[in-house]
Amino acid sequence: MDEIVKAALKKWPNVPHCYGWLALDARGDWYMRDERIQAAGPFPRVKGSRIQHDKLLAFIHRNYTHDDHGAWFFQNGPQRVYVQLEAAPYIWRVGELAPWPVAAHTGQTAVPRGAWLDETGRLFLETDLGLGIVHSMDMGAAADAVEQGHWQPQGVRFDELPRRFGYRLQPQP
């Protein structure tokens, strides 16, 4: 967490949390969801405005974490901005060649511990950082890793993943 964020938390420890205003889709894109967008429909059916500012994205990535109840948030100064997740807390990018290195949408590297395939064919990796979905553009490399026996996916229903891996798709106050 950034030092400026830690200082803000000490200075203003009781700022109310924010819900519904930030979302992460299954391709690792962040979306702002103002009141008009929230009223138009739930995420991910109605996504909102995609965040494209590089410095803001880097700030979000450095200050992205979770609470003790599995709700993921971005610590924005003294305020927690809880994140709606389309699929999982992390979106994995996979290297094209063995040993198929894995990196999160936040830039952190990860070590896979298990692989899961849901009923729609989406691949999730359990890693030392937590659970994430493999980016759709990296499924070719991921398929190579599976074919070579590097990962051995087990079947799972998507609706079981949040409970099994301790995260929330739609945090609520």
Q: Which residues contact 159 (CB under 8 A, 6 or more apart)?
A: none
CB 47 within 8 A of CB 31: yes
The domain made up of 3-85 is a member of CATH 3.10.540: yes
Residue 161 sits at the vertex; the CA angle it makes with 97 and 163, to the nearest 5 degrees, is 145
pLDDT for 8 equals 63
Q: What is the spatial distance between Cα 62 and Cα 44, in angstroms, rounded to a whole number?
A: 24
Q: What is the spatial distance between Cα 52 and Cα 50, in angstroms, rounded to a whole number?
A: 6
What φ, ψ does residue 3 adopt, rounded to 5°? -60, -40
pLDDT for 78 equals 83
Q: Which residues contact 143 (CB under 8 A, 6 or more apart)?
A: none
Strands of the sheet with 30-32, listed across from one edge: 49-50, 30-32, 18-24, 79-85, 72-76, 64-66
CB 120 within 8 A of CB 79: no
pLDDT for 10 equals 67
Q: What is the spatial distance between Cα 90 and Cα 109, in angstroms, rounded to a whole number?
A: 11
What sign results for the dihedral spanned by CA atoms 26, 27, 33, 36? negative
Q: Which residues contact 128 (CB under 8 A, 6 or more apart)?
A: 110, 111, 113
pTM: 0.90
Cα 55 from chain centre:
18
pLDDT for 77 equals 82
Give, for all 173 residues of the chain, the pLDDT tens digit.
Answer: 777 766 766 665 677 899 999 999 999 999 999 999 999 999 999 999 999 999 999 999 999 999 999 999 999 888 899 999 999 999 999 999 999 999 999 999 999 999 999 999 999 999 999 999 999 999 999 999 999 999 999 999 999 999 999 999 999 99
Domain boundaries, the chain: 3-85, 90-165
Q: What is the spatial distance between Cα 78 and Cα 128, in angstroms, rounded to a whole number?
A: 28
